[in-house]
Amino acid sequence: MSDPSPLLTRLPGHFWSVPYAGARFPGSAAVAHRPGLAEGANCQLFAYAVLRHFGLEPPALRSSELWDDRESTARVSAARPLDLLLFNADDAAFGAHVGVWAGPDQVLHLCAEVGRPAVWPMAAFADRPRYRRLVGVKRVTARPSRG
């Protein structure tokens, strides 16, 4: 893989040690009782925390809801840094894995296979049956409120 993107070098160290925890997803009781990433996250919760660190306000949606959302996100054909990528075994958004485009051929994500955040090239997703299809790319369009 090429050198890390500037986005990756600006991510605080604690992001790199977040453990994978499938039960910690947006809207789960586990997150409601203990917010934050210290006790782990699933792919969506992790990706949204990364975007919030960089000043974006992603909606706290599961993957199929995210794919259908038109209020806070937009579908785009080409990824740019901080866009969300959805991967699955097929073209369905339901149950899709969510990662963050960090730069040319660099996707930051958190998955059970690795157990900690990782940066993979697109080919690494295509090589795995459960992530072989790129469902699509979403860009957060909601702006932070100034209150």
Q: State pTM to two decimals.
A: 0.94
The values of phi and psi at residue 52, to 5°, are: -65, -40
Domain containing residue 81: CATH number: 3.90.1720.10
Number of helical (H) and strand (E) elements in the chain, helices listed first:
5, 6
Task: Please list the pLDDT of the chain residue by residue as tens digits (147 residues).
Answer: 567 789 999 999 999 999 999 999 998 999 998 989 999 999 999 999 999 999 999 999 999 999 999 999 999 999 999 999 999 999 999 999 999 999 999 999 999 999 999 999 999 999 999 999 999 999 999 765 554
Structural domain contains residue 40: yes
Domain residues for the domain of 66 are 13-140
Structural domain contains residue 24: yes
